[in-house]
Amino acid sequence: MLNKNIVLNDKSINKLSNKGLAKEHLKDQLGNDFDFVLELWHAQGLEIKKHHGNYFFATKFLKIKDAEFCIVDIETNGSKIEKHQIIEIGAVKVKNGEVIDRYESLVHTESINKHITEITGISAEDTKDAPELKHVLYKFKEFLGDAIFVAHDVKFDYNFISSSMQKIGLAPLLNRSLCSLQLAQRTVVSYRYSLSYLNEFFNLYPDATHHRAMSDVLTTYELFKLCMKNLDKDVKTVEDLIKFSKHAKMLKRPKLDPLYKEEESTENSED
């Protein structure tokens, strides 16, 4: 029986994103269902491309200006996938710096504890007429397609959504991902890199309501555009961008918080 959740090892992922992987080495991991698995992966958001005899992530050759980036944010009623669920999801699809599509939805849930409601402003009552998780995730998967998955501190959103998909019987996500927090650390100078701090410091999205999915998505979108303006000139493809976000030298942070200094100056002037 075919294992639909075949996972590549780190060495293979590195080769697929850089110098390529020979078919025999890739086939060692995928087995006799090689061609079918590649088709299955494409349906899960990951395209593998053959080039000069070796296999690569298709994003190795995809210019940034031609790529579709899906900026995503979720709110959940807790941090543990085993017992908690998504209560709101927001996403915009971006190409060449412009938003080309958007998706957002609350998700029906029976309970949201008081602490989460205080943070997000979302109560269980707010979700009573919202679609069930299965419906929302099917719609989101269709919206995401094979776009690059972008989020601030991407691991949480990516892993929570991927695990949620598996809970409802879908295959896990395989889309290439990009962390806007890591990218910001290498392209913009800031005392802190939380989304709320960056929004205040750079005035990214003045109408932001922190911890609401679409608001955080639009804030991340503005941050993404700012970061892209400061990329090294040799970062041209999606894989260049992913590599840069993970391995380029992080910018030096200021020793003092500029926002704190501004508040202090304001207080002193009032005295």
Give tens-digit pLDDT for 17-47: 999 999 998 888 887 788 899 999 999 999 9
CATH class of 64-247: alpha beta
pLDDT for the residue numbered 2: 40
Cβ–Cβ under 8 Å, residues 199 and 107: no
- Range 229-262 burial, b when 16+ CB lie within 10 A, else e: eebeeebebbbbbbebbeebeeeeeeeebeeeee
d(CA 85, CA 88) in angstroms, rounded, equals: 9
What type of residue sits at position 5? N
Q: Nearest 5 degrees, angle CA 95-CA 101-CA 104?
A: 130
Cβ–Cβ under 8 Å, residues 91 and 70: yes
Provide the token pair at 169: 């019987």
pLDDT for the residue numbered 263: 52
Nearest 10 degrees: Cα torsion 193, 197, 199, 203: -120
Domain parsing of the chain, residue ranges:
10-60, 64-247
Give tens-digit pLDDT for 140-192: 999 999 999 999 999 999 999 999 999 999 999 999 999 999 999 999 999 99
Cα dihedral 42, 243, 75, 100 sign: negative
> What is the per-residue DSSP string for 91-121?
EEEEETTEEEEEEEEE---S---HHHHHHH-
Provide the token pair at 235: 């970062």
d(CA 143, CA 270) in angstroms, rounded, equals: 51
Give tens-digit pLDDT for 105-150: 999 999 999 999 999 999 999 999 999 999 999 999 999 999 999 9
Q: Nearest 5 degrees, angle CA 160-CA 199-CA 137?
A: 25
Those residues with Cβ within 8 angstroms of residue 113's Cβ, 6 or more apart along the chain or in another chain: 77, 78
d(CA 240, CA 27) in angstroms, rounded, equals: 26
Q: Is 203 helix (H, G, I), strand (E, B) or coil?
A: coil
In this prediction, what percent of the chain has a pLDDT beyond 90? Answer: 86
pLDDT for the residue numbered 1: 35
pLDDT for the residue numbered 34: 87
Q: The pTM is what? A: 0.93
The alpha carbon of 83 is separated from its chain's Cα centroid by a whole number of angstroms, namely: 22
d(CA 241, CA 180) in angstroms, rounded, equals: 11
